[in-house]
Each structure stands twice: as structure tokens, then as C-alpha cells.
Amino acid sequence: MPFWWKRSAKKKADRQNTTEDTQKIDIGTNLPHEKMSTDLKKNIDHIKKITGNSSDIVIHELTLGKKTNISAVIVYIDGLVDSPVINISLLKNIMDEKEIDDCWTNKHTFLNELQKRTINIGSVNIIYNWDDLFHQLASGDTILLVDHVFGALNISTRGGDKRSIEEPATEVTVRGPRDGFTESLRTNTTLIRRRIKSPNLWVESMKIGTVTQTDIALMYINGIANEEIIDEARKRLKGIRIDSILESGYIEQLIEDRTFTTFPTLYHTERPDVVAANLLEGRFAIVVDGTPFVLTAPALFIEFFQSAEDYYSRFDIATAIRFLRVLVFTISLIGPAVYIAATTFHQEMLPTSLIFTLTVQRELVPFPAFVEAVMMEICFEILREAGLRLPRPIGQTVSIVGALVIGQAAVQAGIVSPAMVIVVSITAIASFATPSFAIAISARLIRFLYMMLAAIFGFYGIIMGLIVMILHLCSLRSFGVNYMSPFAPFRKTNLNDSVIRSPLWKLQKRPQDISKNNVVRQANDQRPLPPIGKHQFHKGKGDQNEN
């Protein structure tokens, strides 16, 4: 039997074993699907048994109607519901004796009559099995159970404490909106709909996680998004078999095209305007309940060097800043490696005066440049991590004072040279200047590989590493879309919004690799022109204001 056949059979067996394990997880954690009883006492006992008679499960027993005296109960979880809605609106409606007596003509239609005539609070629907009851109960809805009546009313009373809308802390802009996503899924979808008031903005809801039952929303603009990409995203989301989804990072790791790469193939953001702009380009968004980070895909490599502020300022300023970001990323990637290669193998490339200065500085240093760089980089990474994990006021002090003290002490002790401290400091600052944290941390990891190549091969090692990295980037895909588009494959029409940000009136088409249905996004005659005279205007430009 050939080797490749054995390997394929082994993969197939492993996949079958994994499928069996996930099926066991589903069976072991899913709630029972049996239907409810018409006996109210049995239903109450079953709820207490399944929930372990938890203290936050409120079971309020009451009697409905004046003539009928129907026994009923409302069940909700304290802290997940809007208490004023229950106490003022819901109880007031169902305690109306005349209305209840009028609805109690037939116990089989009693819930339907309550739904139509009595309860007018948001969304109200009838459920018949325990699975739906516990899912809705855990989502913040209120359940109404009536004795001798099959089924229950699910009343939308979701509320509770949640964080208010604030400016994103990780994506600060000088000019632009100040609102950011929160941990509430419905709040996040609302923030997106405020910017895209189109009925073609479709939202598909699903629950992922056999235990957590996390609410997920797949958002896209019908007619602009590529249907094949949407189908693939829907397929990957529905194929997830896991017990919990606690953050959008779970989803990102389970649906990405390539696992073994340091470069992110999905984009995440806290800004609603960024998500709206991506949707308008033909991408889709994944909103996860419980996190302010929304995923968008397909993601391109150049997208991680762009900011929402680029489109709110002039094109020449935005283009200059984008070039600066690419330069900053390059410095953070190969800055220490270039210094190691230049001082170890290629001294002839440096000015004579600079060589003498570096030689004097390194005269008492016992370690080679590579060991210096590795020690300093590790120290800065430790300080950076400590600054993030400590409380904010203390963390900033530790990171700044620690860097100054350790750097000065290391130089005075003769462990590292002053030039190495400068190089590592500039590299650390450059990594902070990268707009996306996901791409910045990738550069921080690959930086050590380039330092090793520079210590062994000099500039030739750096060039080889860059070639391998570019080939790796060209091999990546994000939901089937080329990661390095519009550079590889080359798309001339999409270069207007890459490193160069052309004027808005030139951005006439959406990215061709992402949106293939509705590519044109604006008219051709949008270039602003001044009036010829006091009352004369250019033809075909429409009405313009007089000077």
C-alpha cells in the first residue's frame, strides 16, 4: 500500500473519531427535546430540577381571571431581564381580570388569545418543548406557564445591566465617530444599521456552543456580497462543534483558512464605521454576543495598514500616513536584524566615523550583537507584557520607568551597547505605531527569526527571509480570496485604495476579488470642479454653490 494512501486513510479515521467525539459532546450537553406537560406543578418541578433550584431563577406564581381563577406562573432569570417591563407592563396586562375571562373560552386557544389580545410587549411567541424554553430563559426572556394548557408564552423582556456605548480604547482616531461596540449583540447590530439604512443589509442569527449557546449574527449586504463567500462562511459557522464560544477569537480560530501562520486572515475591530465600510465593499461581518470585537472577512494584508481616519481626511495626507505605516512595519520587522548584519558582516556599508563610534561602544561588551539584541528584545517584551497586565496607572509607570532604568543600567554595566538600546527602542516604538495589534504582534514574533538569519548569513539571510515571507503571504487565502490582493494577483483598478489612497471620486469600484455582483459604487463624474463665472457652471456637474 502506498504511503499517501495510508496517510489519507489515517486522516479519514481521525476525522471520523473527531466527529464521533463531537456527537458525544452534543448528546451529553444538549437539553432534552421532550415536550412540556399540561400540569403546572410538574412543569415547575422540572424547571427547578434542571436549573438546580438556582437562587437567581425567579418563579412567580399567580392567579389569572376573576371567574376562571386560572393558576399560572411567570419564570425569568434575575439580572437578565428588564424588571420595569415585567413589573409594570407584563403583570398589568395579564392581571386584567376581564381580558383573561374573555380569553378563556377554550384552553387550547388560550395562549393564542393572550398573544393577540392581551400581551403587547415586544415579541411574543408560543413554545412547546423544554429545549426552546431554557434557551429563551437564559437569553433574558420571560416564560408564562398556565395550568392545564399545553405550551408556554415566550415574552421578550431582555435587558439587565450592560456597558454603555463608549469610544474604542484600541482604535483611537483624531477625526471620526466616537461610538464603539459593546458586549451586547443587539446593540452592536443596531450601531451598524444606523450607518447602513438599507433593507438589503441582512442578518442571519444562529447559536453556537452546546453549553454556552452563544448568539452569533452573520451580517452582509445582499446584492453586494459574493454569494459563494457567504455560503462558505455560513457553512463554516454551522460546522462548528464545540461546547463554548466566549469571544470572537474562538470563531476566528475555527473558521480561518490557514492555522499555522502568524498573520491574521480575519480582521477584527471595535468600530462600527469600519464594519459598515467593509460591508459596503462586499465583505461579511460576524457579531458575537459578549464581546465588542466584530470579525470581518475576507481580509487582505494591506487592510491591516489602513485606518478609518484615512477616509475622513484628504487623500494626500492619508497616502503619506499609509506609507509611514508600511515603513514602521518594516522597521519593527527587520530593524534589529539590519543592525546585527551591518555590524557583524557588512561594516564596509557604514560610514567610517559611525564604525569607529560603534567599535568604541562595543569594546567592553562581552556578547556579540545577536545576543545583545535577543536579551534586549526579551526585556522589552517582558516590560510590555507587564505594562498590559498591571492596573493601568501602575502599568504605564512600570513600562516607562522600567525601560529607562534597565536600559541605563545595562549600558553602564557594559552588558549592552548604547546603540543597541537605541535600535531596540525604535523597534518597540515602531511596533506600537502599527494600526492593527494583530499584524504588530506577528512582526514581533517574526523579528526573532530575522535576527537569527542576520546573525548567520548577514543581509543575505534577511533577503532570503523576506522572499520566503512574501511567498508565504502570497499562498494565504481568506475565504478563498488572495491575501496579497491587489498586488498578487495584480489588480490595477484596486490599487487606488491600497498603499495609495486616491481621492474619493476616483474610488469608483469595489475590490474585484471580494465583490463580483455589484462592483460600481459611484458615478464617473464626481470630481469637484469650480464654477467658471459668477453664474456659469460646468455642464453635467449638477447644481453647485456660488462663490
- pLDDT range class, residue 370, cuts 50, 70, 90: very high
What pLDDT, on a 0 to 100 scale, did the predictor assign at position 30?
46
User: What are 404-431's pLDDT values in tens digits?
Assistant: 777 788 888 888 888 888 998 899 889 8
User: What are 438-491's pLDDT values in tens digits?
Assistant: 999 999 999 999 999 999 999 999 999 999 999 999 999 999 999 999 998 888
Alpha helices in 416-546 (DSSP H): 418-433, 437-457, 459-475
Q: What CA–CA distance (Å, rounded) separates 305 from 510? A: 18
What pLDDT, on a 0 to 100 scale, did the predictor assign at position 536?
55
Q: In what helix (H) or strand (E) does residue 9 lie, and over which residues does it extend?
A: helix 3-29
**Which of the given ranges, 6-10, 79-83, 225-229, has the highest pLDDT on average?**
225-229
Distance from the first to the final alpha carbon of the chain: 84
Q: What CA–CA distance (Å, rounded) separates 115 from 122? A: 11
- pLDDT range class, residue 395, cuts 50, 70, 90: low
Does residue 1 have a pLDDT over 70? Answer: no
User: What are 27-64's pLDDT values in tens digits?
Assistant: 334 444 577 888 999 999 999 999 988 888 999 988 88
User: In degrees rounded to 5, what are phi and psi of residue 201?
Assistant: -80, 105
What pLDDT, on a 0 to 100 scale, did the predictor assign at position 7?
44
Mean pLDDT for the stretch of residues 341-345? 91
What percentage of the chain carries pLDDT values higher than 70? Answer: 89
Residue 104, CB-side half-sphere exposure with 13 Å CA sphere: 19
User: What are 68-119's pLDDT values in tens digits?
Assistant: 788 889 999 988 888 888 888 888 777 776 777 777 777 778 888 888 877 7
What pLDDT, on a 0 to 100 scale, did the predictor assign at position 466?
96
> Residue 33 burial (CB < 10 Å; 0-12/13-18/19+)?
exposed
Cell of 521: 459604487
Cell 421532550 identifies what position?
A: 34
Q: What CA–CA distance (Å, rounded) separates 501 from 316? A: 7
- pLDDT range class, residue 12, cuts 50, 70, 90: very low
Report field, pTM of the whole predicted structure over 0.95: no
Residue 486 near residue 511, CB atoms below 8 Å: yes
Q: How far is CA 383 from CA 85, 189, 378, 450, in A?
A: 49, 37, 9, 22
Mean pLDDT for the stretch of residues 162-175? 86
Q: Which of the residue ranges 29-43, 258-272, 358-372, 511-525 would you say has the lowest mean pLDDT?
A: 29-43
Mean pLDDT of the chain: 85
- pLDDT range class, residue 397, cuts 50, 70, 90: low
Does residue 205 have a pLDDT over 80? Answer: yes
- pLDDT range class, residue 379, cuts 50, 70, 90: confident
Does residue 540 have a pLDDT over 90? Answer: no
Strands 201-208 and 477-478: unpaired
